[in-house]
Structures are given as C-alpha cells and as structure tokens.
Amino acid sequence: MLRVIQAIGLTSNPRKEFPPALDDVSFEAQAGCVTALLGGAGAGKTTALRLMLELQQGRGVTFFRGRPLHRMAHPSREVGVLLGDVPGHPARSVRGHLRMLCAAAGVPARRADEVLEVVGLVSLRDERLGTLSRGMDRRLGLACSLLADPHTLVLDDPAEGLTTRERRWLHGALRAHAAQGGTVLLTTADAKEAARTADRVVTLERGRLVADQDAAEFARTRLRPRVAVRTPHASRLATLLGKQARTAHRSVEVVRESGNRLSVYGSSCADVGEIAFRNGILVHQLADEVGDMGPGPDMDPDGIEPRADEESRSAYGDAAPTKADAGAGSRRRRGAAPKRGERRTPAGDLASGSEMSQVSDEGQDGVAAHETSHGTGDEPSARDAGSRASDQPAYDLPDLPPPISVRPAPSPLRPLRYELRRALGVGTGFVTAGVVLVVSALTAVVLARIGHTPHARLLVAWPRELPLPPAALGAGLLGAIAFGDEFRHPALAADRGTVPRRLGLLAAKLLVASATALVLAVLTVGCNIEVLYLVYGRELAEVPADWLSLSASWIGLVVGCAWAGVLAAGLFRSTTAGLAAVVTVPIVVVPLVQKVLEGPSVRTAAGFPLRLREVLLSQWPFGGERYLAAVARVVGQPVGGAMTLSLAALLCAYLFTTLRSRVR
C-alpha cells in the first residue's frame, strides 16, 4: 500500500536534566487506513504530532506523500490538523471562523457551509466560539480539518470529552475519510478504543516506540480476552469455575461484575458453557470479549472479587468497546471502498436513529455482546470475534463534504481576503474606533475651553502633554491587534508554525491597517470639527489655509503608528509589545533624534530640503513636486523622522527573522 506518512527518527529537544519527551521514534501510516498512536499521559503522543507538523523544535523528519511540510506551497490542502481546542477568537462566530480559514486556504467561501452541514453545526453557525460545548468544539475542529479537502488528517485525541454517540459518529467520519482513500492519524490513551477504531496501532511508552501492530494483532497480544457470562446463578457458577481451575491447575480469574454478570479471564466459551451445562446452570449470555488487562494486584487469590469498574465504563458512556464492535469495524473496512467524492446517505447529527438501533442488545452495564456463542480455542482472537460478528448489521458511515475538484492557483488577494475577514469578524476594531472618536471629541472640547492650544492640534485633539493624539494611539492599537491576535488565537497554527511568516500576509496586514488608520484619521478630524462647531461656533471649525501639508502630516502620523504596531507585534509576538513600540517612538526615539540633530558638528545639513527640491522636483508633471515636498517636510520633522527610523528598523528586523525561519 502507499505509504502516505513516514516519520523518521522523531526526537524532541531535552529540557535541562530531563530526558527528551520523544526519543528516536519512527513509524508509517498508509493510505486508506486509520492509524492510532497509543500511549498514556507523558508517552509522547502530542510531542510526536507537533514534531511531525514542525510546530516544535527537535530532530527527525516527516514526509507526507514524499514531501516534508515546509516544502508544500499549501500545507492545509495536504494535511488537516486538530490539536486541542479550536484556536479561534472567542467572540468570532462559527461560520465567520470557517470563512476566514477558507480565505487563508484559498477555497471558496461556500465550503464553510458545506462542512457545517456535514458535522451538524448548521443550527449553531451564528454562535460564538466561546459559547460552544466540548462536543460542539470537537465537531468544529473536525470541520476545520476537512475545510481544504486534505488527503491526510492528523488529530490529537479527537474523542476526548465526547459522549458515546459523539464518539461513534466521529469514528465513523474518520473511517469514511479513510474509505475514500485518505489517511487518518490520531492519538488516544484508550487501548480498547484504538483496537476498535484503528487499522494499525503504534504504541508509545515514555517517549519510545514499543509496538507497531495491526489492530487484530494488537487486540490479541496487548488486550486480554475474556468470556462474558450472564446467569441468575452467578455466585454458584463463579465458585464452580474457581474449583475447576484449581483442580486442573489452570490460571483462571473470575470477576463478579454488577448484577448477574461474570467476567472470566483465562478460559473459553466452550469450557464455561460445559461446566454450566454439567451442573444444570441456566445461562442467559455467553460471549467472547476483549477487555482491559484484567483485575489488579489486590484481587482475591481465588479470583472471585467484586470489582467496581463503573468509573472505567462511564468513560465510554452506554457502549463499552467489545470484540464484536472491532469485528463490525473490520467488516466495514474489508468492504469495497467508494471512490473519492462519492456521496453517501447524510448522517446529519452525531448519531442517527438507525445507528442507535444497532446496539439494542446492550445490557445494563453498557457492554454490547453476541447472543450465546461458543468458541473452540482457549485464546480467541479479535479476527475470530469479527467473523462471528459478521452477521450483525453495521450502521452507515457518515457523509463527508464533497471534494474540491478545481483548486484555484495562488492569488495575491488570498491573504487580503483573510485579513479583511479576520478584522471584520469581531467587534474589536469597531469598539476601538468608537472609543477613539468619543475621547478625541471630548478632548477637543476641553482643549478649546482651556485655550493655549494651536488650531491644528485642536482639530486632531492633540494636547502638548500627551506624546500622541487618541487617533494615533487607536491606530497603533488596531495595528498591534492585527498580529497580536494571531499569536493569542493562532487560527493558522496548523499551517506553518504559530503564525506563518509570509510577506504576503505582512503586506495584507499593512494594507488593511493603512486603510483603517486613514478612515480613523478622517473621521476623527471630521467629528472634532463638527463637535467644535456645535459647542463654540464657526470660528474654531474653520479649515486652516495650509490644510494640504497638515493633512499629509496627520495621515502620515496615524498610518505610521498603525504600521509600527503591526511590525512590532509581529516581531515580538504580542499586542502589548506592539502598542509599547508605538508609544516608545515619541517618548524615546524623538528626543534621541532631536539630541543627535542639535549636537555639535563641523557641518550641518541646513538647506537640504531646498537643494533636494532643486535636484528632484523641478520637472515633475501634474504638480507632483508639491506632494513630494510635503512628504519631505513631514520626514524632516522630529516626529516624522523618528517614525520613519522606527518603521525602517522594525521592517528590517521582521524581514531578517522571516528569512532566517525560511533558511531553517
């Protein structure tokens, strides 16, 4: 079969004196199969996935259909990932989050509605991510992983915290993806779940690979077979089984379950049925099962000890995994795999009525078993159990979203669409703009009443005591949020690291931040003029004569603050750091620039703007020399020069870190 995933020598970096969480682990996952990474807490399952997806530093390499992740132009179209909860802004709607990811992946926006219908979240598409329950969040995570129609699904414990019905639907959806030729790699800490749902089980223990087996071989060697018995004479039969085991010198353990149920380890259906027949004991159920590793060390020597395992069964809800379930799953896997894109009967919700009808024989303790059946060997295998279960009907596999037949070519508008949906999907920008307008208008009114404020500063509500006006601080905050939210709510984490360092994404954020700052600058001046006119009359609302140069300075200041926030937040990975960089320019950089320019020197640059105009601006058409002269005057001011210097330094640092990450 085609080896889709090849993990070679995965080793995490050790921390201080502690050994690495993962040490030289290699395994493969094949197309059309579900592969489970099995291990308890601390076994290294999540670390293995993070190393495979290049989200964590370490050694080793992972090939997805022959290519590592960093060599793919569009990783989200090749690998769908679910690690933990859905990393999205809590105030963003379910549909808005998916549409934003559609823009990032370059797929049509209607894809969001298609996957919502498949996972049964159509009625919750307008709900906020912060209000979703655990089960709903897992459904949304699966929708995000299926969004770009990937060939491979990599899921970290996807069934954690789900109910029995949700688990059953999730496993069916993963099985349907594999049946259509895809590859599924998931982690789990439950051995019985791995045996029931996977085709191959890779076992990890303390960061090392201890077993790599087929599911049937795993069930036979790693799980302990048992015989489930129901009889109204459970105590008598348990005594007879223990006596027979001591007489024959055999290791047989009999566990008295709740009610009239017995679990017999080390025997077979034939032996238990023969003993019950010889002693005239009525048996209501006799079946082979695959259970856990059996009784603990505090078991009574005779092997007859009531064991309270309701807590372990509660983890599965109403249906604990059995060999019958594993056999039914194997029978579905052996069926003809439909072609990729073939439609099945929609499943709708997480569990349909037809699905629940298949487990009508479950008892009070939640274990689904066969009617009375007899084995022939002492150690029945999972494959035998599967063949005995072949006459049971299997519920239909859930429907999957249709394949994306035509994938658009790379487009420079893709990052821009993503950034627009990111910025407009939550109310942070609108609230910030509203607060800026209100504070700016009130500040202008107070400054006009106090007096001693130049008219140009009054129109933008910029008192001399503040380093920046409210509009500039608001633009810097919005710019810092543009990259800060990517690190706080890393929606692109499954792509290339926490936040992809792509120049297209940076250009989109700078462009959207510029447009936002421009709108905020114009609205601020307009609102201030209107408020001053209403309160004090026409005198303070007049437009200055040199409005062109003042407007260029004002727009340059606000846009420069927005850019400084974007670059600093992307460089230092924090919204707070981005806003701090904006405030640092007038407080630290401007005095430093003034001190350098006013210091003693042999020669000065006096008359530089005039000479520059004589050289460059004499022959510009359409009066372009006026605009360039205004730009030169803005840059020549202390605040403009400091802002230009800061932006240049931040841009160079961002480009340097981007190139460095690509070299790695």
DSSP one-letter code for 130: G
Positive or negative, the Cα torsion across 355, 225, 282, 305? Answer: negative
CA dist 147 and 95 (Å) reads 12
Per CATH, which fold does 3-221 belong to?
A: Rossmann fold (3.40.50)
DSSP one-letter code for 404: -
pLDDT above 70 for 157: yes
User: What are the C-alpha distances in Å from 484 to residues 73, 488, 654?
Assistant: 25, 6, 14
pLDDT above 60 for 373: no
For residues 85-97, one letter each, b for 16 or more C-beta atoms within 10 angstroms of the residue's C-beta and e for the rest, the string is ebbbbeebbbbbb
Residue where the block lists tokens 């005995």: 388
What pLDDT, on the 0 to 100 scale, is given for residue 481? 93
Residues 5 and 171: beta-carbon distance below 8 Å: no
**Numbers of helices and strands, H then E, in the chain:** 25, 13
C-beta contacts of 408-417 below 8 A and 24+ residues apart: 408/106, 408/107, 410/73, 410/74, 410/106, 411/106, 412/504, 414/103, 414/104, 414/106, 414/504, 415/104, 415/502, 415/504, 415/505, 415/507, 415/508, 416/508, 416/511, 416/512, 417/103
Confidence of residue 630 (pLDDT cuts 50, 70, 90): low
Q: What is the dihedral of CA 431, 437, 442, 445, to 10 degrees?
A: -170
CA dist 266 and 379 (Å) reads 8
Mean pLDDT (whole number) for 387-397: 39
Strand partners, 484: none
For residue range 175-205, what is the model confidence (pLDDT) as tens digits?
Answer: 999 998 899 999 999 888 888 889 999 999 8
pLDDT above 80 for 399: no
Among 160-169, 191-200, 602-611, which stretch is predicted with the lowest mean pLDDT? 602-611
CA dist 253 and 264 (Å) reads 6
Tally Cβ neighbours within 10 Å of residue 614.
Answer: 10
Strand partners, 80: 153
What pLDDT, on the 0 to 100 scale, is given for residue 94? 93
In the chain, what percentage of residues exceed pLDDT 70? 72
Positive or negative, the Cα torsion across 264, 267, 273, 276? Answer: negative
pLDDT above 70 for 232: yes
Positive or negative, the Cα torsion across 627, 632, 634, 635? Answer: positive
pLDDT above 90 for 120: no
What pLDDT, on the 0 to 100 scale, is given for residue 437? 95
CA dist 658 and 664 (Å) reads 10
Residue spans per domain, the chain: 3-221, 224-335+348-353+365-388, 416-663
Higher pLDDT among residues 515 and 353, named by residue = 515
CA dist 142 and 159 (Å) reads 11
Q: What is the dihedral of CA 328, 333, 334, 338, to 10 degrees?
A: 130
For residue range 251-262, what is the model confidence (pLDDT) as tens digits?
Answer: 888 888 877 889
Confidence of residue 415 (pLDDT cuts 50, 70, 90): confident
What pLDDT, on the 0 to 100 scale, is given for residue 294? 40
- Element spanning 399, H or E: none
CA dist 322 and 494 (Å) reads 34
**Would you give the end-to-end CA distance of the chain in angstroms?**
32
Residues 290 and 223: beta-carbon distance below 8 Å: yes
In the chain, what percentage of residues exceed pLDDT 90? 26
Confidence of residue 455 (pLDDT cuts 50, 70, 90): confident
What pLDDT, on the 0 to 100 scale, is given for residue 610? 61
For residue range 248-303, what is the model confidence (pLDDT) as tens digits?
Answer: 888 888 888 877 889 888 888 999 999 999 999 999 999 887 655 443 333 333 33
Q: pTM (2 decimals)? A: 0.70
What pLDDT, on the 0 to 100 scale, is given for residue 325? 39
User: What are the C-alpha distances in Å from 339 to residues 171, 223, 235?
Assistant: 19, 34, 54
Three-state SS for 501-540 is CCHHHHHHHHHHHHHHHHHHHHHHHHHHHHHHHHHHCCHH
Kindly report the CA angle at 345 between 341 and 349, in degrees rounded to 5?
Answer: 110
CA dist 497 and 63 (Å) reads 17
Residue-wise DSSP of 530-576: HHHHHHH-SGGGPPPTTHHHHHHHHHHHHHHHHHHHHHHHHHHT-HH
Tally Cβ neighbours within 10 Å of residue 472.
Answer: 32
Higher pLDDT among residues 491 and 538, named by residue = 538
Confidence of residue 436 (pLDDT cuts 50, 70, 90): very high
Higher pLDDT among residues 304 and 423, named by residue = 423
What pLDDT, on the 0 to 100 scale, is given for residue 310? 32
Q: What are the structure tokens assigned to 123, written together?
A: 């009625």
Q: Of 255-259, 384-388, 395-399, 571-575, where does the model show the most confidence?
A: 571-575
Confidence of residue 527 (pLDDT cuts 50, 70, 90): very high
What pLDDT, on the 0 to 100 scale, is given for residue 618? 55
Confidence of residue 471 (pLDDT cuts 50, 70, 90): very high
Residue-wise DSSP of 20-81: PSS-SEEEEEETT-EEEEE--TTSSHHHHHHHHTT-S-EEEEEEETTB-GGG-S-GGGTEEE
Residue where the block lists tokens 């929708």: 143
Q: What are the structure tokens assigned to 594, written together?
A: 């003034």
Amino acid at 568: A
